[in-house]
């Protein structure tokens, strides 16, 4: 069962339907007990970082998210769901995240000459350059196109967790991968065939065992 975490900040229907069209059973829930026993867990999201963390905290979901990741359960973070995995965000101040992947979330730099003429949010199709092989990207073409909607991006402390990058004025991490966690800044559920391929590879992944 693929379990999508419902933390009241996003329309979850598109990612639910994407998995269902691939033939997978899907449950959308905020019940920590259901999330804890899921075979696969998805944290999607669109919106502000602080609101996302506030909702996770208010629903009592922060411990269970950390626990399922530590247990080795396959875990997918999408867009805001990717950003929430980081240590902190600078969106509208400094706010702590889940701290699963050390690093921070920063805004596209408005004063950088590389951003001249580019609109923020970054919205639309862009290429994803694969930097290292990971199961979720296996067989996908390098520089394939995926759909993005975001004003902030992640900067992990450890560059080794970066599986793919994208350039929009500046180069940023668009896919992170570490043990059982895969996280993407783009929306695979809106990215047509390549997005479906990534979701299928995630659904086929298996637990890796508890972290030591």
**Pairing assessment for the beta strands 101-107 and 144-150 based on DSSP bridges:** unpaired
> What are the Cα distances from residue 88, in Å, to 20, 24, 62, 83, 84?
33, 33, 14, 9, 8
Task: Give the contacts of 200 (CB within 8 A, at least 6 positions apart).
Answer: 22
Q: Is 37 a catalytic residue?
A: no
Cβ 188 vs Cβ 125: under 8 Å: no
Question: Which letter does DSSP use for residue 67 in this model?
Answer: H
Angle, helices 13-21 vs 192-204, to 10°: value is 80
b/e map 144-160, b = 16+ CB within 10 Å: bbbbbebebbbebeeee
Q: Is 160 a catalytic residue?
A: no
Q: Is 122 a catalytic residue?
A: no
Strand runs labelled E in 57-161: 75-78, 86-89, 95-96, 101-107, 122-130, 144-150, 152-156
Q: What is the widest separation between alpha-carbon atoms in the chain?
A: 49
Catalytic residue among 40, 55, 79, 184: 79
Residues annotated as part of the active site? 79, 187, 189
């Amino acid at each position: 069962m693929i379990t999508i975490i419902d933390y009241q900040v996003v329309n979850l229907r598109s990612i639910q339907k994407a998995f269902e069209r691939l033939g997978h059973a899907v449950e959308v829930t905020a019940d920590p007990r259901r999330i804890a026993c899921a075979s696969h867990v998805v944290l999607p999201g669109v919106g502000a970082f602080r609101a996302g963390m506030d909702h996770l905290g208010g629903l009592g979901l922060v411990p269970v998210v950390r626990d399922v990741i530590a247990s080795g359960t396959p875990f997918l973070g999408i867009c805001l769901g990717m950003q929430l995995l980081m240590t902190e965000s600078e969106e509208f101040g400094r706010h702590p995240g889940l701290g699963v992947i050390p690093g921070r979330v920063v805004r596209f730099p408005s004063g950088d000459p590389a951003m001249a003429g580019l609109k923020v949010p970054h919205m639309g199709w862009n290429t994803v350059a694969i930097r290292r092989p990971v199961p979720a990207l296996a067989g996908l073409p390098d520089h394939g196109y995926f759909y993005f909607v975001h004003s902030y991006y992640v900067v992990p402390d450890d560059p080794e967790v970066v599986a793919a990058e994208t350039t929009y004025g500046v180069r940023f991490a668009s896919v992170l991968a570490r043990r059982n966690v895969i996280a993407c800044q783009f929306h695979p559920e809106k990215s047509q065939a390549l997005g479906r391929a990534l979701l299928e590879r995630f659904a086929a992944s298996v637990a890796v065992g508890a972290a030591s």
